[in-house]
Structure 1
Amino acid sequence: MKLPFNLDNIRLRNKMMIIYVLCVLLPIVLTNVVFYRATTEKVKNQRMQDIERALEQVKNEFRSEIEDAVSVSSVFFTDYNLNQILEEEYQNPADYVSAYDSYFRRILNSYTPVYTSMQNIKIYLDNPTMLHSGGIGFLSEQAKKSVWYRALRDAKNANPVLVRTAREDTFVPGLGAPYRDTFSIVRRMNYFDGNKWEKILKIELRTSAVEQVFGNLNLNGYVYLLNEKGSIEYTTDPNVNWPVDTVFYNELQKPKDAIEFETTYAGISYMKGWKIVGTISEEEVFRVVRKSREFIIWLAAANLFISTLIITWISRSMNVRLVNILRHMKKVKNQQFVTIEDGASRDEIGQLQVEFNRMSLQIKRLINDVYIADIERKSLEIEHRKAQLNALQSQINPHFLFNSLETIRMRSLIKNETETAKIIHNMAKLLRSSLAWSKDRVTVEEELEFILCFLEIQQYRFGDRLVYRLDVDPNAKKAVIPKMVFLPFVENASIHGIEPLKHGGEIDIRIELGTDCLEFSIRDNGVGMKKEQVERMYGFLDNVEELGERIGVQNVIYRLKMLYGDRIRLFIDSAPGEGTHIQISLPVQADPGPQT
């Protein structure tokens, strides 16, 4: 297929620039942009959730303070003895003091120290025969004009009422209006029938406890407690004089960048319609977002700088030497057989320089040689040397790779990165085994070493997502099998079975030695295979085709079929979403000893 554009006429340096732009610059920029947007959204949502949880905690703590007072009010409300004391008409103060000391003082002192959120418990009643002190107050006309009494009068049932009140026995000079800076639970004590007197229980919360609850939201913003009418009952905003003035939240002038959070009280009769609103500066929400943005920008800049430096370095190494070779080739065209004096390198361009020098010298000798037989002989010699060079190269490259991996492993050990060193060692071991086929038969114990290397590498990739178990019969370890016949099935189970699962999975491997066969079984709880895939694997037993380049499951079955014929047994049990179970039975073969 002919491409719509041709790159053959573009200079190598420009090709490297195209590769850099398309394969490095654009992917890094696009990846970081996508990563930044996703990270920003995630951080923003997480921050919003943290603020909402903090506001919910303030709501619950304030509700807990109120419920403590409500619980105490229910005890007073249903106390028969207390009701009898309050309903009694006393002939003289001594009788009242005796009744007060015998019961009322005791229950009054038993609750105030326990519930630190309450600072005062007082019962207002219009019984004139009682002394109005020590938790007993006279329900005078002035008291009936108070905010808490009017709120209780408007209530249509005996449920407690939450109302903001002024503290008992306090007076703030210079304030014309009452300074209502705390909350109280007020309740009519009419649980029992036949009440002669009007009795009202008033439990006052401790102001410092309320301030502590709303001060827990340590954020750059303000908290507002609103009643059912939208009026501010409490706030941390110093610009609102809430203890004195009646201020509606909707009338406040809020900053333009303020973000509102709201949580309501539901299912509570005495707080029906109440809610807590928090206004947080946008700076508070996006502060962490900006930190992540700076990190991403610096990361992208570092990636671009390092990749640009490496590509420039590599491209210059290639371009300068290729231009030098091209210049000498033009001299050959003009019959100037000048060799390249630069030091020969071991990469392909270096080999090209060596071959060019050799070619130049040979051409020069061939021009002076008049005999065709000698030309043919020298051509054969060149071809022979090329074959030797290719063979030598095929030997050098793997050793170079192994030495490089060993160097990386040793550097990791020096830096105490033992886990990384172990994985590199496993990779080198697997690679060396896959390249060295001078020994095509191994023991089960040696095959298990390859399997363990592979599983440790996979577990290094996936962490806790991959769990594997090995159950090997000790008598089976010395049995001889073809090299790398079990490893491809383990690789299939890990990569195609477990890797697609987000939560990971498990692999169970079992090897047993029977009387006349060796059984290998592998089971995973991965994505499974379709019926067509299972039938295709069974088909490998019947149709032996040409082996491919990779040592996969297909090639393994082909190899086993050629080595053992009909003596092998293959069992596959798999379905989509139910995992895969594969069992192979091979004829038993003992360890023949070391091979040379």
Structure 2
Amino acid sequence: MHFLNNIRLRNKMFLVYFLGVIAPIILTNAIFYNIITENVKEQRINDIDRAVEQIKNEFQLMVDQGVGLSSFFYADYKTNEVLNMNFTHTEDYVEAYDLYLRSILNNYSPFSSSLQNKTIYVDNPTLLNSGNIGILSDEVREEAWYKLWLKDASSQPVFVRIEDPEGQFQSFSLLRRMDYFADRMAKEKLIKLDFKTIDIMEIFSNLNVKGDMYLLSPGDRIEYTTNRAIDWQANTKHLYSSLKSDNLIQFEKGYGSISYLRGWKVVGTINEHEIIKEELKSRYFIVWSGCVMMIFPTIIILIITRSINVRIIEILKHMKKVKTQNFQMINYGEARDEIGQLTLEFNNMIMQIKTLINDVYMTAIQKKSLELERRKAQLNALQSQINPHFLFNALETIRMRSLLKHEKETAKMIQSMAMILRSSLTWNKEWVTVEEELGFIMCFLEIQKYRFEDKLKYHVEVEPEARACVIPKMVFLPFVENASIHGIEPLKKGGRIDIRIGIEEDFVVFSVKDNGIGMNGKLVSRLYDYLKAEELIGDRIGIQNVIYRGKMLYGDRIVFEVHSRPGEGTRIVLKIPSNP
């Protein structure tokens, strides 16, 4: 067994797969195929045999209905009596016919469903040749069907095929002599019942028989068939024996001792290829099921083999890199099997080697890097400590100069500007009250009012309980700025801004509405995208800055809504928790 040690691991797995999976499946399917094929063939033959037996019984039932009707007329004394009477006047016969025969002949339905026509022929010239009553005249006696019946004329019913003088098919009929009362009624009577050909065709058109059906008369002459190659209605007589073939399977059903169907047979034939088709279906099923049973184990074994083989090869590659002082770790994630533990131990070894190298060679470099970072932090701190006090002094000087010149409106604008600028530069105060934020908003609106004069109108509504709530500084002002500059300013006739700040449950709700130019769907979608962005703020300002700061401070608790359409203005709603 040492030779197995020289076989690659992947090939070993394939050898196990072939001997443990493929070979047993092929052997099992071969045995299963032989058994199933025989069972399918036997079952199909039994199904066809039952179908032919059913056709035989249904045909017999149809003929039995005619026999039952003929037996009724055969033994009915009143019918025979009326037909045997000599009528002096036609009116007397019509009266007798209406009193009894009409209802019997026309309304006797239990046995009439498969009958095309029923006629009682009587050797009585005093009757009328109508209403299912026929005169047994010399002309009738010369017809082919009468002569055919006359060869075996008896009181028993006889089933025959009737043809016209040219030999063309007319009907299948039941003939019977009505001589039950012959000792008292001397006139010859004969009943002829014609069956519906379409009913016979429906009986023989059994869908379970994928072959041809034949109705054979005594002497094996084909009287009816579903074989389209044979014109069974023509005057040419076909013998069934001339059609036999080695490729046909025959199912023959006779009527035994039934007198009126003695010698008649129902025969079904089916080509052996039809049986083979059923066998092929089972074969295809077995082949496909075998393929499925092989494909899924193959995929599973390939996955497992790859899981083992690829990781072992990767370990070997990294071990060879160690010889060249390339200490690279294996990045395959965590695994709990033996190969995963081997990978983990290898990575631990690489980490220890790299740690030792870093301890020796990298310590000095790290110290120098830390020193540079410290100096850079100190420089940034010094730069951030620049005091913008001179800006406020300059603005105050301009404001005082404006007051001396009695320019009070300009002085007020400079004072509002100084308040906004002082608030924006005071970063050590991140949180303000709503009251303070409202002061910034009013300063900005006064500046804009000074700029646009009567083009800008505004209305501010603040609930008293909201004024003391603490919020991030300048969280509302950028939305007011956006409404003024981007919403109202493009309008020639000016516009209006409505601001409302209130409390809803545990949220401070700020809403600003303008009747400006509005925004299209693309701009609205861009504002909503700010809520989804995760990258750093960078140099962003305005609304994007507010949304980013809100996400940092409140997370998913911040609610931001935009309602806008081009030409219809914009309404923005911002909800932030009242308790930071």
Deviation at 1:287, TM superposition (A): 4.3
Tell whether 2:48 aligns with 1:51: yes
Alignment partner, residue 261 of structure 1: 251
Amino acid at match of 1:280: I
Q: Is the 8 Å Cα contact of residues 177 and 189 (structure 2) preserved in structure 1? A: yes
2:64 pairs, out of 46, 63, 67, with 67
Mean Cα displacement is larger for which, 116-125 or 279-288? 279-288
Deviations 1:128-178 (CA, angstroms, capped at 9, x unpaired) = 443333323233445345454344444475221111114xxxx7xxxx623
In structure 2, the partner of 1:545 is none
- Report what 1:77 is aligned to: 74
Separation in structure 2 between the aligned mates of residue 199 and residue 229 of structure 1, nearest angstrom: 29
Where 1:229 maps in the other structure, the secondary structure is coil
Which digits, 9 at most, give the CA deviation of each residue in 1:363-401, with x for residues without a partner?
Answer: xxxxxxxxxxxxxxxxxxxxxxxxxxxxxxxxxxxxxxx
The change in CA–CA distance for 1:217 and 1:311 in structure 2 (over 3 A counts) is closer
For the pair shown, the structure with the greater C-alpha radius of gyration is 2
Distance 1:164-1:328 versus aligned 2 partners, 3 A rule: same
Q: Which residue of structure 1 aligns with residue 242 of structure 2?
A: 251
Residues 197-225 of structure 1: per-residue CA shift (max 9 Å, x gap):
22211111122322332234475432211
Describe the shift of the 1:80–1:34 C-alpha distance in structure 2 as closer, same or farther (beyond 3 A).
same
Q: Which residue does the alignment assign to 1:134? A: 131
Could you tell me how far apart the structure 1 residues matched to 2:38 and 2:327 are?
62
Match of 2:23 in 1: 26
User: 2: CA distance between counterparts of 1:264 and 1:144?
Assistant: 32
Give me the whole-angstrom Cα distance separating, in 2, the residues matched to 1:218 and 1:145: 43
1:189 Cα deviation after fit: 1.0
- Per the TM alignment, residue 358 of structure 1 is displaced from its structure 2 partner at its CA by 8.2
Residues 182 and 210, structure 1, Cα contact 8 Å, conserved in 2: no
- Cα shift at 1:227: 1.9
Which residue is 1:271 aligned to? 261
Match of 1:149, SS state, is: helix
Alpha-carbon shift at residue 267 of structure 1 (Å): 4.7
Query: Does the 8 Å CA contact 1:221/1:279 hold for their aligned counterparts?
Result: yes
Contact 1:220 1:284 in 2 (8 A): yes
Question: Is 1:88 aligned to residue 85 of structure 2?
Answer: yes
> What TM-score does the superposition give when structure 2 sets the normalisation length?
0.51
Tell me which amino acid in the other structure corresponds to 2:238. V
Aligned to 1:190: 179
- Give the letter for the 1:13 counterpart: R
Q: Where do 1:359-378 residues align within 5 Å?
A: none
* Partner residue in 2 for 1:495: none
- 1:559 — aligned with what? none
Tell me which residue corresponds to 2:211.
221
Q: Residue type of the partner of 1:307?
A: P
**Does the 8 Å CA contact 2:68/2:111 hold for their aligned counterparts?**
no
Cα distance in 1, alignment partners of residues 229 and 137 from structure 2: 36
Partner of 1:211: 201
Q: Distance in 2 between matches of 1:288 and 1:140?
A: 58
Q: Percent identity?
A: 45
Verify: 1:143 aligned to 2:148, yes or no. Answer: no
> d(CA) in 2 for partners of 1:33 and 1:146?
66
SS of 1:96's equivalent?
Answer: helix
Q: How many residues align?
A: 349
Whether the aligned pair in 2 keeps the contact of 1:36 and 1:296 (CA below 8 Å) is: yes
Alignment match, 1:162: 159
Distance 2:190 2:147 in 1: 12
Q: Is the 8 A contact 2:211 2:271 kept in 1?
A: yes
How far apart are the structure 2 equivalents of 1:217 and 1:322?
Answer: 64
TM-score between the two structures when normalised by the length of structure 1: 0.50
Deviates more, 1:73-82 or 1:209-218: 209-218
Distance 1:281 1:117, change over 3 A: same
Select 2:306's aligned residue among 302, 316, 323: 316
Query: Any conservation in 2 of the 1:148–1:186 contact (CA below 8 Å)?
Result: no
Alpha-carbon deviations, 1:530-563, whole Å to 9, x = none?
xxxxxxxxxxxxxxxxxxxxxxxxxxxxxxxxxx
Equivalence for 1:239: 229
Q: Which residue of 2 aligns with 1:389?
A: none
1:350 is aligned to 340
Which residue of structure 1 lines up, in the alignment, with residue 112 of structure 2?
115
Aligned partner of 1:202 among 174, 188, 192: 192
> Counterparts of 2:336 and 2:328 in 1: how far apart (Å)?
15
Looking at structure 1, the residues matched to 74 and 201 of structure 2 have their Cα atoms a distance apart, in angstroms, of 28
